[in-house]
Structure 1
Amino acid sequence: MKKHLLLLAAAALLSTAAAVPATPSPGSAGLGDPLFPTLGNGGYDVRHYDVSFDFTPVTYDFSGAVAFTAKATQALSSFNLDTDGHTIDAVTVNGEPAVWSLSLGQSGQELTVTPAAPLREHVPFTAEVRFRGNGKAPRAGLTGWNFGPDGGFAAAAQSSRADTFFPVNDHPSDKATWTFRVTAPEGYVATANGELAGRRGNVWRFEAREPMASELIALAVVKGTYLYGKGPHGLPLRHVVPQGQEDRYGPVAAETGDQIAWAEAKFGRFPFSTYGVHIYPGYRNALENQTLSLFGTGWFDQPTYSNTMVHELVHQWFGDSVTPATWQDAWLNEGPAVYYAALWAEEHGGQSMPERMRTVYGKLDAVRAKDGPPGRPRALGGYNIYDGGALVLYALRTEVGDAAFDRIMRRWVQRYKDGNASTEDFIAHAAATTHRPGLDGFLRDWLYGAQNPPLEGM
C-alpha cells in the first residue's frame, strides 16, 4: 500500500509539472542558416500571410499591411520579423496593440514585437503590421525592387529581399499560403503569386493556395497586358507582357504550354494551380517566382531563350514546390534546373549533354577548391551549385541508369511536394528508391568531396 501511495504521489507531481506552462522567452532573431545565419526568425511558424500593398507609380511611394496567422513553437515573450526600409505605423498581436522596436541586422533590419500578453507554446496567434515607405529609399541590405521605364516595379526577392517589400519571416524553411491585395492605378496592372481571385476597382486580389517561401513573391505594378491560355490537363495559364508589345511577346508566352507538357513527361504533374511568365523591361535577369516566372526582355533577343524559360519552369518543381531546407542546399534548386534545361536544349538541336558535362567536369575541381563543393557551397549563386549540381545529377544517371534516375527525380517531387528538403534527404531518398548498395557514398563523394570522383567518358 505504501509503495502504491508513493507511486500515486509521484504521478501527481509529474502531472502538476507537466501542467506548468513554459516560461516565455524571446524568439531568436535568426535561424542559423549556414549561408545566411540571421535570415528568418525563431519561435513561431507562419501558416498564412494576408498582404495589402498600395503602390503609387513614378513617385514609388507605397503603404500597406501584412497580417499573418502563426503557431508559436515556444512560449514567446517577444518575436522578430525581417524588414528593411519601412516606416512602421502600428503592430497588433491577437488584436491588441503591441510594443515594437527596430534595430539594424546583418542583412537588413529586425522588427522586434512584444505582445501585450506572452504567447503560449503550440497555440495559434495572429499579428498585423502596418507600414509605409518608398521603393527607391536606401536599404540596410540588398533590395528586391526592380524599376522599369513605365514608372512601375517588379519584385525579385531571392534570396533575402522580400523584407524590402513588407515585414516577413524571410527564410525558405517557413513556407505559408498567401493572399495579396495589390492596388494599381488606372493604366497599370498588378501581379502576385497564385490565381487572380478577383478585382474590385483598382484593387487586385490573388490567392496562392499552395505553400510558398517568401523569396518567391511575384509582386509587381506595371504597364502590362494579361494574356491567357490553357496548358496540359486544362491548367490555367496567365502571362503579363509589356503594354503595346503583345504581338512581340504573345507568341513567346504561348510556348509555355508545350514546355510544361515536356517537363511533366520527365518528372510528373505540374505542382500548382496556375502558371505564367511575366516579361518586364525593368528586369535584366530571370527568376522562378512561384507560379509567375519573371524575365527581362533582353532574354528574348537570343535564339536560345526557350532554354531559360525551361530553366525557370523546372524550378516550379525543384525549388518552389520542393524548397531547400537551408540555402546551403540550393544545388537541389539549381542542379535540376540546369540539367533539364540542358536536356531540353539537346533535344532541340543544341549542345549534347555529354559534351556539356565534360566541360563542367573540367572546370569543377577548381571551383570546388575556391567556392566549395555542390552540397556545401560557401556562398549562394556559384558555378558549383548550378553547373556542378547538374553534373552531380548526370553522374547519378550514369551510375543508376535512365529508368532508376527518372524514378528518383519523379518520386522526389512527389514525396516533398509543398515542403522543404535537404541534401541529406536527397541522398537518403536516392538510396531508398534504388536499393543500390554504395549509392549513399557515391553521392556523398560527388556532393561533398574536394575533387570530382572518376566519371565514365570524362
Structure 2
Amino acid sequence: MTSYTRRRALTLGGASAAALAVTGIARAASAEPTPGAPGVGDPLYPTLGNGGYQVTHYDLTFDFTPVTYDFTGVVKMFAQATQHLSAFNLDTDGHEIDSVKVNGRDASWELSAGLTGQELTVTPASPLAKSVPFTVEVRYHGNGKAPRASVTGWNFGTDGGFACAAQSSRADTFFPCNDHPSDKATWTFHISAPEGFVATANGELLAKSPRPDGSAVWHFALRERMATELVGIAVVKGTYLYGTSRRGLRLRHVVPQGQEEKYAPIVERTADHLDWAEAKFGRYPFSVYGLHIYDGYKAALENQTLSLFSTAWFKLNAAGHPTYENTMIHELVHQWYGDSVTPKDWQQAWLNEGPAVYYQRLYSAEQGWEDFEALMKGYYARLGSDRALNGPPGLPKALGGFNIYQGGALVLYALRKQVGDAKFEQIMKVWPRRFHDSTVDSEDFIRHVVDLTGDASLDGFLRDWLFGSVNPPMPGHPDWTVPTP
C-alpha cells in the first residue's frame, strides 16, 4: 500500500506540472516561437532525439495481445520547453497515431521519414513558452511484427510474447518519445498481460490490477531517471523469483515458466555479484535489480534495474567453468556505468563499455578462468590497427566495435598502470557517486581524473589514449607492440 501511494504521488506530480503548463502558453512570451530541432546533433545519429524541450517524466500504458502481437498504447510525456516552441518532434517508428494532445488540448501532427525511424511533428493549439512545463499525450496502436522504417527493438519468444531491447535507438518502436540518452526522465509503466503471462518493466512493481477477463495490469515505477534506450518492458510466460542482496537490496528476476529449478541457482549468484561490484564502485545506484531470462532474446543487455539475457547464454565453458558469470558482471557494472551515469551522446559509449569489459575480465581473472594481463596485451595489439579502421576509443565511427568495448577497457588498464592501483580504485569508485543520475562525456572523465589525482599530466595522457591515431606506449610494458601490417 505504501509503494502504491508513492506511485500516485509521482503521477499527481505530473498532473500538477500539466496544470502549470496550461497557464504558461506562450501568448505572453516576447520572443517569436519557432519549431524545435528534429534531432540533437548526435555525432553518430544526427537526427536522433529532438530539440526544444527536456522530458521530466514518462507515463506509459501498454496493452499487448500475445500471439497476434497487436497492441494499443498511451504515452504521457511531461516536459519543459527550452525555447519558445511553435512545434516540436517525437521519435516514433511503425505506429498508427490515433490522437495527440498538448496540455489537454487537441494538437495537429504529421509523420515524416527520419534516418533512424520516423519523425512525429506536433503543432500545439497554442505555442509553448520557454522554461514552462507542458504535457503531451499520444494515443497509438500497432503490431509488434509490423514493418519498421529502421531496425526493430522487438524480440519475440516461443511463448508468443515479447521483450524490449531498445538500445541504441529503438525505444521509438514501442512508443513515441525523445529517443536520445541525453534526455533522461523518471518513469511509470502500466503494462497489461493476459492470464498465464506476466509483465515486466524497469523499477519497482507497485501493484497488479486484475481485470474481469483474467488479465491484469502491472504497475511499475522507476524513480531514478533513465534514458529511453534502457527501457525493459515485456509480456512473457515467466515466473518471478525474489531475493535480497547481502545488504538487503531487493532482487527480482523473471525466468521461463517451468524452468525455475534450472535458472534459480543462476540468478541467485546475483547477490555475490552485487557484493563484488559494490566493493569496487560503492552502493548500487537504484532501489531494485534483477535478471530477465528469455528465449526470445539472443544476447545480453543492461536494461536499467532489469538486465535482459538469452536462455542460450548460460552454458559452462570447455573447462566446466560458469564463465557466463562474466556477462552477468558486465551488465551489472553497466548499472553504474551507462545507466546511472549516462553518455551525453553515442560517441561517448566507451564510458559505458570500457568499464563493463574491464571489470568482467577482472572478475573472470579473479575466479581463475582467464589471464587478465594476457587479455590486455592482446587488446593492445589489436587496438593499434582498429584505431585507423574504426576510430580511437573516444571517437568511434560507429557503435558496437572493438575500439569501444575492449579498447575502452584498455584505456582504463593504461590509466591504472600509470596512476597505481589505489588511485585507480578511487577514480572508479568516486566517478559514479560524483555523476550519479547525470549525463557525461569524455571531457568530464578527463577532468575527473585530473581533479582527483592532482596530476595535470593525465590530461594529455588520456587524450592520447582516447583520441590518438596510434597506441601510446603502455606504462609498465615497454615490450608491448602493435604488429606491423
TM-score band, normalised by shorter chain: over 0.9
Q: Indicate which of 129, 136, 147 corresponds to 1:127.
A: 136
Q: TM-score, normalised by structure 2?
A: 0.90
Q: Indicate which of 44, 48, 64 corresponds to 1:55.
A: 64
Q: Which amino acid aligns with 2:108?
A: V
Q: Indicate which of 322, 341, 350 corresponds to 2:341.
A: 322
Q: Indicate which of 409, 420, 423 corresponds to 1:390.
A: 409
1:451 and 1:83 mapped to 2: Cα distance? 40
Which residue number in structure 1 is paired with residue 323 of structure 2?
304
Q: Indicate which of 160, 163, 169 corresponds to 1:154.
A: 163
Q: Indicate which of 212, 225, 240 corresponds to 1:226.
A: 240
Per-residue CA distance 1:382-429 (angstroms, 9 max, x = gap)? 000000000000000000011111111111101110110001110111
8 Å CA contact 1:190, 1:222 repeated in 2: yes
Residues 401-440 of structure 1: pairs in structure 2 closer than 5 A: 401-440=420-459
Structure 1: which 5+ residue stretches go unaligned? 1-18
Count of residues in correspondence between the two structures: 440
Which residue number in structure 2 is paired with residue 9 of structure 1?
none
* Residue 38, structure 1, aligned to residue 47, structure 2: yes
1:401 and 1:325 mapped to 2: Cα distance? 29
Q: Indicate which of 202, 221, 231 corresponds to 1:207.
A: 221
Q: Which amino acid aligns with 1:66?
A: V
Q: Which amino acid aligns with 1:35?
A: L
Which residue number in structure 1 is paired with residue 5 of structure 2?
none
1:410 and 1:38 mapped to 2: Cα distance? 34
1:305 and 1:269 mapped to 2: Cα distance? 24
Which residue number in structure 2 is paired with residue 445 of structure 1?
464
How far residue 20 of structure 1 moved from its aligned partner, in angstroms, is 5.8
Q: Indicate which of 260, 264, 270 corresponds to 1:256.
A: 270
State the percentage of identical aligned residues.
66
How far residue 233 of structure 1 moved from its aligned partner, in angstroms, is 2.0
Q: Secondary structure at the match of 1:45?
A: strand
Which residue number in structure 2 is paired with residue 293 of structure 1?
307
How far residue 232 of structure 1 moved from its aligned partner, in angstroms, is 3.3
Structure 2: which 5+ residue stretches go unaligned? 1-27, 211-215, 317-321, 481-485
Q: Indicate which of 123, 131, 150 corresponds to 1:114.
A: 123
8 Å CA contact 2:29, 2:129 repeated in 1: no
1:30/1:376 CA distance change after superposition, 3 Å? same
8 Å CA contact 1:55, 1:221 repeated in 2: yes
How far residue 239 of structure 1 moved from its aligned partner, in angstroms, is 0.1
* Residue 341, structure 1, aligned to residue 363, structure 2: no
Q: Which amino acid aligns with 2:255?
A: V
Deviates more, 1:127-136 or 1:430-439: 430-439
Q: TM-score, normalised by structure 1?
A: 0.95
Per-residue CA distance 1:127-156 (angstroms, 9 max, x = gap)? 100000000000001100000000000000
**Moved beyond 4 Å, runs of 4+:** none
* Residue 78, structure 1, aligned to residue 87, structure 2: yes
Q: Secondary structure at the match of 2:336?
A: coil
8 Å CA contact 1:76, 1:118 repeated in 2: yes
1:415 and 1:328 mapped to 2: Cα distance? 21
Q: Indicate which of 290, 312, 316 corresponds to 1:276.
A: 290
2:312 and 2:417 mapped to 1: Cα distance? 36
8 Å CA contact 2:78, 2:134 repeated in 1: yes
Which residue number in structure 2 is paired with residue 104 of structure 1?
113
Q: Indicate which of 197, 210, 235 corresponds to 2:249.
A: 235
8 Å CA contact 1:172, 1:325 repeated in 2: yes
Q: Indicate which of 386, 396, 406 corresponds to 1:377.
A: 396
Q: Which amino acid aligns with 2:90?
A: L
Q: Secondary structure at the match of 2:265?
A: helix
Q: Which amino acid aligns with 1:416?
A: F
Per-residue CA distance 1:13-71 (angstroms, 9 max, x = gap)? xxxxxx96211000000000000001000000000000000000000000010001100
